[in-house]
Amino acid sequence: MKRYAMILGAVLLVLALSGCGKKAVVTVSDRGVVTQVETRLPRTVAKILEDAQITLGAEDVVNPSADTKMEEEGEIVISRCNHVKLTVDGETKDVTMTGGTVADLLAQQGVTLTEFQAVSPAEVTWLTEGMEVVVTSSLQVTLVHDGKEEQKELPVGTVADALEAFGVKAEELDRIEPALTEPLSHKMKIVLVRVTQEEVTETEEIAYETERKNDSSIDKGKEKTKTEGVNGEKELVYLVTYADGKEESRELLSEKVVKEPVNEVILVGTKKKSETTTKSADKEETTKRHEINRIAVPNCDDPNHGYYEIYYSDGTVEYVEY
């Protein structure tokens, strides 16, 4: 009897060491990774995971629950609790989510991607602890600068960010439309106008003036130039502004006369013709008319003076003093 008892004890020990129950395969799904675990059922979920060397975190969720005793083959689904950072168009927030993919996270946060937005990592990626999920907008931006036009797909940002992305630097005087602080939008066109300035020195003529002066030594009706007029010269300094190489405006900074003009002086005759001169001229005229007869009529008081009566072929008579 004693010997029988010893044999029975040995059999029970072997059964205890070799396990009891039916062999089975349980599937464990953990963030998209599927593991097939061979075990004997019935057995609790916690024990099955322990045999598969799968550890649960304090906030992780398992279905069925860890204390559930599985009687049949089946699937254990682990939903990991993840603390992630979600950044949408530059704004970041901390999110805690149990299980799921990037797409599930976006859905939970009410983020719907447009055709111009992208997310990293990809939507099908399972969430992990400490993951950073970034949503950026892809905007088509055109930049016109330095005589050419370029296009790029850019994330959300400002006009200043766009210039940096294009590798274009704006100088202090350059004009940018829209302004550097303006947020980018889809199909935005940015125009960069290169503005330069330089001082330019030019010379300009100063026109002389004409002075007219009466002169009694010159017969009336006649004029004589006393001084020839000469134009002067002045120097002007401008600040010239160029837009994309073309002159846009100029501002006069200074001017000075480097050569004074010389005024033209014209003498205007005021002298009346003398009577003798008139008569002499008239005499020449009458000579042309063929003098016929000349009669001297002396002065009664002075026989050396008097006048002539001159008769011409045309019937006219002229009196000329002598």
Task: Work out the burial of residue 60: count CB atoms within 10 Å of its CB; fewer than 13 is exposed, 13-18 middle, 19 or more buried.
Answer: middle
3-class SS of residue 77: strand
pLDDT for position 18: 40
3-class SS of residue 282: helix
pLDDT for position 321: 77
3-class SS of residue 103: helix
pLDDT for position 295: 80
**Exposure b/e, 285-308, CB count within 10 A at least 16 = b:** ebeeeeeeeeeeeeeeeeeeeeeb
- H or E, element range at 51: helix 45-51
pLDDT for position 279: 55
Would the pTM count as exceeding 0.85? no
Partners of 47 in the beta sheet? none
- Report the Cα 209 to chain-centroid distance in Å: 50
Distances (CA, A) of 63 to 44, 47, 49, 69, 128: 12, 14, 12, 12, 19
Weakly modelled stretches of the chain, pLDDT under 50: 1-19, 286
pLDDT for position 285: 56
Domains, the chain: 2-79 (3.10.20.90), 81-137 (3.10.20.90), 139-193 (3.10.20.90), 197-270 (2.20.230.10), 274-321 (no CATH)
The CA distance from 46 to 66, in Å, is: 5
Residue 71 DSSP code: -
Partners of 293 in the beta sheet? 311
Two structure tokens written together for 184: 């980018």
The CA distance from 158 to 185, in Å, is: 9
Mode of pairing for the β-strands spanning 246-259 and 232-243? antiparallel
3-class SS of residue 42: coil
Two structure tokens written together for 262: 């010389």
pLDDT for position 14: 35
282: phi then psi, degrees, rounded to nearest 5: -65, -35
Nearest to 263 by CA among 235, 233, 232: 232
- 305's CB contacts (< 8 A; 6+ apart) are 298, 299, 321, 322
